[in-house]
Structure 1
Amino acid sequence: MTERLARASGRHPWRVLAIWLVVTVAAVGTIGTFLESALEGEISITSETESKRADELLMEGFPPPPPEQDVTEVVVVRSERGSVDEPAFVQRVQRLEDELHEAGATIVISSSSGDNEQLVSADRDATELLVGLGADPDEETVKPLVALVQALDGEPGIEAAMTGEWTSDADFAQLSQDDLRTGELYFGGPAALVILLLVFGAVVAGLVPLALAIVSIVGALALTALVGQMFPLSVFTINMLTAMGLALGIDYSLFVLSRFREERSGGREKLDAIAAAGATASRAVLFSGIAFVLAMVGLLLVPSTIMRSLAAGAILVGIVAIVAALTLLPAVLSLLGDRVNALRLPFFGRATVGQAGESRFWARIVRAVMRRPVLSLALAAGLLVASAVPLLNLDTGSAGPSTFPDRFESKQGLLLLNEEFPSGGVEPVE
């Protein structure tokens, strides 16, 4: 099947390329329209755990206040020069209350708005403000409030920070974007390109796998945007999808492209080389991809929305990467032909261009392993055990502000809250 599909794609490359171009353009439009709303799912446990049942009983016995009175955020303001009772400090906190109301807060509770001494620290150098955001808040709602608190924190003699449900969610989203930008765009992609250039010894051959990975990621993001309209997904779906798309797209392309170059260097005609690669490398890609997707399906059984979101992203990009490797890649190879070896790099990848043969480097390694299988097995097992040793000190737990880098507002707010109100500053009010 894979041979016939590769031969058909190689025989009609412009048709295949046109189809993929239309699909990619449609995918970009879908991403721009639906992706943001698809990634609004909350992190929760889907099974009936004891803690979930306790939350339900708590909600039944102690119904939450109306949305406009519900408190979700905490602002901690500390005086670095004296007591919270000083007139200048009191006036500044009251002005912050007014500013928070003007910025969208529906309720602000402070020590000055009633008999709320619980909102003052034991040494009376800090106070809390409990803030509510109304019926339908989101990450964007909290940003103007965070800006006000950060502006206050920059004033002489005052330290201020904010934390809470929506402050944390906004930081979660920002952390996801930062990790994606740093991990994949600034490191993963460029590092993969350098390795591909060194392996193939040609710029064009090195760019083909990266291009296939990008197409796979774009297509999978569009599918994620559509799936997320029915089943809200976590914002971290993008991180999983991008990482897996980069890995699978490059990996699958390496198989097929290497076999195509090998067949061409052995004297086969272009279409026959594509068909041969389809019969061998593409078949391996198909079964490898199916195994990957089935493994990720297992994550869907975990009763956690974030685990299911990560699994969905991996499954979708795996499927798109398989289809692209079986159809788009043969078409691209048909159009490029031997130009896939264009823009050669000196001293790299020469063994795979112009001559068929095994790699002497890997051949030596394989022969050494075959001569001493027991020793090789022991060395490999020892390396794996050594790599796993750090897991002995692994701390597990739920993600939240305490796990954020210190630069995030919700982390600073939590640190300040725990420092000034170690017994839980908002519990008496709740």
Structure 2
Amino acid sequence: MTTETAREDGLLAGLARFCHRRRRLVLLLWIAGVLAVAFAGFGFGAASDNDFSGSGSESAKAQKLIERHFPEQQGDTLTLAVKADRGIDDPAVRRKIEKVVATLDASPVTGPVVSPYRNPALVTKDRRIARTTIPLTSQNVKASEVRPLVTAVKDASGGGVAFGLGGDMAQKAETPGQGPGEAVGVLAAAVILFIAFGSLVAMGLPIVTALMAIVGGIALMKLVGYVFPAPDFTVVVSALIGLGVGIDYALFIVTRYKEALRDGDAPEAATVKAVTTAGHAVLFAGTTVVIALLGLVAMGQRLMTGVAIAASVTVLVTMVAAVTLLPAFLGFAGHRINSLRLPRRTSRADRHDPARPSRTRRTRRTPAERWAALVQRRPWVAAVLAGTGLLVLAAPTLSMRLSLPDASVQPHDRSSYASYRILSEGFGPGYGAPFVFAAPVASKDADLRPIVQAVAGTDGIASVTPPQISADGRAAVFMAFPKTGYQDEATPRLVHELRDDVLPNVPGGEDVHLGGPNAVTIDFSDAVSARLPYMIAIVLALSLVLLVALVRSVTIALQAAVMNLLSIGAAYGVLVAIVQWGWLGTALGFPTSMPVTSWVPMMMFPILFGLSMDYEVFLISRVREEYVRTGETRTAVARGLARTAKVITAAAGIMIAVFTTSLLGPDVAVKQIGLGMSVAVLVDATIVRLVLVPAVMELCGKANWWMPGRRTNPQAAPSPKEPAAV
């Protein structure tokens, strides 16, 4: 029994036949299932969790102590900042400021607001800049309830008086939705598919399949959030991943289906062949992406585990849709898959499609085959140039700094940025990055003066507040304001100095925990930097095992791992150059240079490694098929590249289009991950697949197919039937 016959009698073949024959039932079940899950997920799904403090970090210990002994200090706050050119004591200015304070005080979501005129500590010495803190009445206040306050504050600015309303809720309230990014991505994908297929019907099937899968996957993800909470960026990132892989997976299957029809198969047989070949590779590729995503669990971060599970759910749903929903759609389409074609003159290349069986393939080589031959003539030159280029692109990674975005890196027309700018000018750049010290004490008479004086005397500290003892006399807190801002490189160094050198050398200082939002960001970034190598090692090991099982070659699996690391490293380097160094940053929508968001490189690696393995699977499967047919590595690589060039280029184009549209959105962190993934896919589909793969495989020769315990190379006599491959 041949491999192809065995596959056509397997589970996938049976599933494909069932979905094709029972296409109306399958479609109705999918529609009903997606609607039900969407109703439950979008209506009653779990809320986002953005607490990155972890469980064992110093900042988390400080937060737990404050929550336990200072319950009155819980809840979000807003900060009103005011700058008056004529000073806040000018009568007209004072009326305007008191009117804004009264508006904030009258809101049902705010607690009592203290006017800066009642507390001299809230005003600078020159009386030009003032501030006040506005407590929110509940931790469940929604951004939509704060939005009118942001609008009122922004509208009050003018006439020589500038207002800004800061705080996390204010920042969320004025941040618009992701916008048309996903819609633009779908439109771009449609154009690429139309060009690739030349048919509106063939174009529409991958898009409809992917969209239905994404809706169901994201809704299901929200329900899973009750067990595995995830931060708010998870939905956008999962939508980007799901849209990209969903369209790509459907693209591979539809391409194989069209090839089978051209070979003379009936629609049902073509569907079975597409699912048992391309669908088989889709399941493997999707499993690789899921395993890579689950590598995030190795980071030991509760929220990152939630992100891993949520994104994996979305990918799993797209995989299931590719091998169930898409075969049903193919059943409806039948031979009409090429209907509503793009008007164009049939070219000689079209008449001699390299995807046709060997008996109809023309003698003249395709452009992809000629390119592969060019690389193979000078493999050392091609490999060295491509490898050097990737290393140069990756070099900036060595200077990568990690942080989480704050008001200072937001668009400059935001009220939260205005608040940051005014407060930095009047009270120093560290006012928005306070350190919160919390310590257990024995009684209300505890003397923390030595600790406070040691912190105040540390170089880099601007000011320190008096300690405050809790009502139960069991804990104390005080704050220190650094001279540097939230994103400054000196701020993390100061935190480590206080923890490692200052507090341990003061009596009782070993019991003091340094926390606050700034410290949370620093602790999270340090944890990412420390555990990222472990995640990379785990993802590499698991992916290598899967790839060896599929291609049955240790050499090719190792090649794939190294090349994927190079392409991801290049993406990291470009991201650092644009985001952190500011090269072309403004042109790409970044308001200012900033550190790379802490979770971005951690999230990028498993996603990109999984996607790179997708392309590796689709390319190497064809190369191995040709090698089994001919026994000649050079010919196999050239033909495998020719047979996959069009579909991999289209798939990469779709990924790049989808990921790049994140630059249209307002979230600087999502912009970063979209940019990084776009660069990685571009590098992988060009430098890696078109240069490194043919060059390295040419250099390795028969060693490409080395497998422990196998005495002979995987050769077989040519068969008139096309072997099962992607």
Scaled by the length of structure 2, what TM-score is found? 0.54
* Alignment-derived partner of residue 151 in structure 1: 155
User: Partner amino acid for 1:168?
Assistant: Q
Offset of 1:340 from its aligned partner? 1.1
User: Partner amino acid for 2:20?
Assistant: G
Judged with a 3 Å threshold, the aligned counterparts in structure 2 of structure 1 residues 138 and 304 are, in CA distance, closer, same or farther, namely farther
Determine which of 239, 242, 245 is the counterpart of 1:242. Answer: 239
Matches within 5 A, 1:14-33: 14-33=24-43
Determine which of 54, 65, 70 is the counterpart of 2:72. Answer: 65
* Alignment-derived partner of residue 287 in structure 1: 284
Question: How far, CA to CA, are the matches of 1:353 and 1:428 in structure 2?
Answer: 80
Determine which of 151, 155, 163 is the counterpart of 2:166. Answer: 163
Determine which of 330, 334, 337 is the counterpart of 1:337. Answer: 334
Judged with a 3 Å threshold, the aligned counterparts in structure 2 of structure 1 residues 197 and 390 are, in CA distance, closer, same or farther, namely farther
Determine which of 24, 35, 57 is the counterpart of 1:49. Answer: 57
Question: How far, CA to CA, are the matches of 1:112 and 1:303 in structure 2?
Answer: 48
Question: How far, CA to CA, are the matches of 1:334 and 1:256 in structure 2?
Answer: 13
Determine which of 293, 296, 303 is the counterpart of 1:296. Answer: 293
Deviations 1:386-419 (A, max 9, x none): 4324435544212222232223322221122111
Whether contact under 8 Å (1:10, 1:271) holds in the other structure is yes
My pick for the range that moved more, 158-167 or 401-410, is 401-410
1:8 matched to 2:5? The reply is: no
Offset of 1:196 from its aligned partner? 0.9
1:411 matched to 2:417? The reply is: yes
* Alignment-derived partner of residue 612 in structure 2: none
Offset of 1:111 from its aligned partner? 2.4
My pick for the range that moved more, 104-113 or 343-352, is 343-352
Offset of 1:45 from its aligned partner? 3.0
User: Partner amino acid for 2:126?
Assistant: D
Whether contact under 8 Å (2:228, 2:306) holds in the other structure is no
Deviations 1:111-170 (A, max 9, x none): 223xx21211232111112111113323233222212211211x3221000101321343
1:127 matched to 2:130? The reply is: yes
Offset of 1:259 from its aligned partner? 0.7
Judged with a 3 Å threshold, the aligned counterparts in structure 2 of structure 1 residues 111 and 25 are, in CA distance, closer, same or farther, namely closer
Judged with a 3 Å threshold, the aligned counterparts in structure 2 of structure 1 residues 291 and 233 are, in CA distance, closer, same or farther, namely same
Question: How far, CA to CA, are the matches of 2:161 and 2:107 in structure 1?
Answer: 21
Whether contact under 8 Å (2:88, 2:127) holds in the other structure is yes
Whether contact under 8 Å (1:200, 1:348) holds in the other structure is no
My pick for the range that moved more, 39-48 or 364-373, is 364-373
Question: How far, CA to CA, are the matches of 1:128 and 1:386 in structure 2?
Answer: 47
Scaled by the length of structure 1, what TM-score is found? 0.88
User: Partner amino acid for 1:185?
Assistant: A
Offset of 1:345 from its aligned partner? 1.3
User: Partner amino acid for 1:189?
Assistant: V
Judged with a 3 Å threshold, the aligned counterparts in structure 2 of structure 1 residues 183 and 300 are, in CA distance, closer, same or farther, namely farther
SS in 2 for 1:107: coil
SS in 2 for 1:296: helix
Structure of greater relative contact order (alpha carbons < 8 Å, 6+ residues apart): 1
Question: How far, CA to CA, are the matches of 2:56 and 2:326 in structure 1?
Answer: 46
SS in 2 for 1:65: helix
SS in 1 for 2:49: coil
Deviations 1:346-395 (A, max 9, x none): 34997678965279233333333444333332233233224324435544
Question: How far, CA to CA, are the matches of 1:143 and 1:226 in structure 2?
Answer: 27
Judged with a 3 Å threshold, the aligned counterparts in structure 2 of structure 1 residues 250 and 57 are, in CA distance, closer, same or farther, namely same
Judged with a 3 Å threshold, the aligned counterparts in structure 2 of structure 1 residues 258 and 353 are, in CA distance, closer, same or farther, namely farther
1:320 matched to 2:317? The reply is: yes
1:39 matched to 2:47? The reply is: yes
Judged with a 3 Å threshold, the aligned counterparts in structure 2 of structure 1 residues 205 and 2 are, in CA distance, closer, same or farther, namely same
Whether contact under 8 Å (1:39, 1:228) holds in the other structure is yes
* Alignment-derived partner of residue 111 in structure 1: 116
Judged with a 3 Å threshold, the aligned counterparts in structure 2 of structure 1 residues 129 and 241 are, in CA distance, closer, same or farther, namely same
* Alignment-derived partner of residue 545 in structure 2: none
* Alignment-derived partner of residue 145 in structure 2: 141
Question: How far, CA to CA, are the matches of 1:200 and 1:321 in structure 2?
Answer: 21
Deviations 1:308-365 (A, max 9, x none): 3432332011100110001111111111012111111134997678965279233333
My pick for the range that moved more, 400-409 or 353-362, is 353-362
Question: How far, CA to CA, are the matches of 1:428 and 1:150 in structure 2?
Answer: 30
Whether contact under 8 Å (2:225, 2:310) holds in the other structure is no
SS in 2 for 1:214: helix
When the two structures are aligned, how many residues end up with a matched partner?
415
Matches within 5 A, 1:367-378: 367-378=373-384
User: Partner amino acid for 1:63?
Assistant: F
Question: How far, CA to CA, are the matches of 1:59 and 1:19 in structure 2?
Answer: 48
Whether contact under 8 Å (1:262, 1:352) holds in the other structure is no
Question: How far, CA to CA, are the matches of 1:152 and 1:221 in structure 2?
Answer: 40
SS in 1 for 2:114: strand
* Alignment-derived partner of residue 370 in structure 2: 364
Question: How far, CA to CA, are the matches of 1:71 and 1:120 in structure 2?
Answer: 22
Question: How far, CA to CA, are the matches of 2:319 and 2:351 in structure 1?
Answer: 26
User: Partner amino acid for 2:143?
Assistant: E
Judged with a 3 Å threshold, the aligned counterparts in structure 2 of structure 1 residues 302 and 56 are, in CA distance, closer, same or farther, namely same
Whether contact under 8 Å (1:107, 1:133) holds in the other structure is no
Question: How far, CA to CA, are the matches of 1:411 and 1:91 in structure 2?
Answer: 24
Deviations 1:71-108 (A, max 9, x none): 7111011112x121222222322222221121232121
* Alignment-derived partner of residue 94 in structure 2: 90
Judged with a 3 Å threshold, the aligned counterparts in structure 2 of structure 1 residues 34 and 3 are, in CA distance, closer, same or farther, namely same
Judged with a 3 Å threshold, the aligned counterparts in structure 2 of structure 1 residues 65 and 164 are, in CA distance, closer, same or farther, namely same
Determine which of 240, 258, 268 is the counterpart of 1:271. Answer: 268
Whether contact under 8 Å (1:201, 1:349) holds in the other structure is no
Whether contact under 8 Å (1:43, 1:305) holds in the other structure is no
Determine which of 390, 397, 400 is the counterpart of 1:391. Answer: 397
Question: How far, CA to CA, are the matches of 1:208 and 1:317 in structure 2?
Answer: 19
Judged with a 3 Å threshold, the aligned counterparts in structure 2 of structure 1 residues 190 and 418 are, in CA distance, closer, same or farther, namely same
Judged with a 3 Å threshold, the aligned counterparts in structure 2 of structure 1 residues 256 and 18 are, in CA distance, closer, same or farther, namely same
Whether contact under 8 Å (1:126, 1:420) holds in the other structure is yes
Whether contact under 8 Å (2:408, 2:420) holds in the other structure is yes
1:424 matched to 2:401? The reply is: no
My pick for the range that moved more, 415-424 or 209-218, is 415-424
Offset of 1:203 from its aligned partner? 1.5
Matches within 5 A, 1:174-253: 174=175, 177-178=177-178, 181-186=179-184, 188-253=185-250
When the two chains are superposed, the root-mean-square deviation of aligned CA atoms in Å is 2.6
User: Partner amino acid for 1:410?
Assistant: S
Matches within 5 A, 1:247-262: 247-262=244-259
* Alignment-derived partner of residue 99 in structure 1: 103
User: Partner amino acid for 1:101?
Assistant: D
Question: How far, CA to CA, are the matches of 1:85 and 1:149 in structure 2?
Answer: 19
Question: How far, CA to CA, are the matches of 2:29 and 2:229 in structure 1?
Answer: 29
User: Partner amino acid for 1:28?
Assistant: A
Identity %: 31
